[in-house]
């Protein structure tokens, strides 16, 4: 038997380490994508009504701050709820282990047996895991929770805030820095290019086909900018 057949591949050996990191990277890519699309739609819509740089800057900054704070607050609330649920589940397991240890051992045995182990081996593994760290064994096998790596709402909120802000800065700078004559085309090109890049990044992280993700991203951004620009033009023409 060759060494390739008996040794795990590099990807397999590090899958557990890379998993959480890939989740954060995916969240960052999606947060940046939201910042690009929402801010681009806002500033392009305003540009349809006026070409005043001060107005565009004010609208863009307001959208950036509102969006980033909303993303951070929403992520904090969502992850805090998840963390509370994880803590409650761990507390329940701790009580059950203290009051009904034999029933919990039988439950763990059944779960391991359901993963493909024989009854005898499942019982032996359950006993060894229980002797080593009963709470961790039940948390990981039964609940899918690592007691030492609970979700952190502050990390999630900070990552969402930074990702959205980074994405939103691109359309904001693209709409206020160039001369008025080329402001709109520069913004559209910059936004579509960034969305294509985000689509490629999200597809690579998810090991999905990149072409469709890039087209979806660019198409959604183009639609958002087209709709808001048309609304801005109509409102500007109406003198609103």
pLDDT tens digits, one per residue of 98-144: 899 898 888 888 888 888 888 889 888 888 888 888 888 888 888 88
Residue 14: the pLDDT is 43
pLDDT of residue 152: 81
What is the number of other CB atoms lying within 10 angstroms of the CB of residue 107? 16
Nearest Cα neighbor of 42 from 239, 225, 223 is 225
Cα 171 from Cα 144, distance rounded (Å):
40
Instruction: Retrieve residue 21's tokens.
Output: 């990191």
What pLDDT sits at residue 5?
43
Q: Over 80: is that where the pLDDT of 227 sits?
A: yes
Residue 34 pLDDT > 70: yes
Q: Please tell me what DSSP assigns to residue 142.
A: I
- Tell me what pLDDT residue 137 has: 87
**Confidence band for 22, pLDDT divided at 50, 70 and 90:** low
> Mean per-residue pLDDT for 13-36?
65
pTM listed for this prediction: 0.74
- Which residue has 């994880």 as its token pair? 86
Task: Note the pLDDT tens digit of each residue in 58-114.
Answer: 999 999 999 999 988 988 998 899 889 989 989 998 998 889 989 888 888 888 888
CB 73 within 8 Å of CB 156: no
Is the model more confident about 189 or about 12? Answer: 189
Q: Tokens standing for 31?
A: 């947060």
């Amino acid at each position: 038997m060759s060494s390739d057949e008996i040794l795990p591949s590099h990807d397999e050996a590090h899958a557990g380490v890379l998993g959480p990191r890939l989740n954060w990277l995916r969240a960052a890519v999606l947060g940046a994508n939201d910042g690009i699309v929402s801010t681009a739609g806002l500033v392009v819509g305003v540009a349809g009504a006026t070409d005043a740089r001060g107005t565009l800057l004010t609208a863009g900054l307001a959208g950036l701050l509102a969006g980033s704070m909303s993303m951070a607050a929403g992520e904090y609330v969502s992850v805090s709820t998840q963390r509370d649920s994880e803590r409650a589940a761990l507390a329940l397991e701790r009580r059950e282990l203290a009051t009904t240890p034999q029933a919990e051992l039988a439950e763990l045995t059944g779960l391991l047996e359901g993963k493909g182990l024989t009854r005898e081996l499942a019982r032996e593994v359950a006993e060894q895991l229980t002797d080593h760290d009963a709470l961790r064994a039940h948390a990981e096998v039964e609940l899918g929770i690592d007691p030492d790596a609970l979700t952190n709402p502050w990390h999630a909120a900070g990552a969402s805030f930074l990702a959205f802000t980074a994405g939103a800065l691109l359309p904001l700078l693209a709409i206020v820095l160039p001369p008025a004559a080329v402001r709109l085309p520069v913004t559209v090109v910059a936004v579509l290019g960034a969305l294509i890049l985000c689509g490629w990044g999200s597809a690579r992280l998810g090991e999905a086909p990149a072409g469709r993700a890039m087209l979806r991203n660019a198409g959604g951004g183009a639609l958002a900018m087209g709709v808001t620009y048309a609304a801005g033009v109509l409102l500007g023409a109406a003198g609103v």
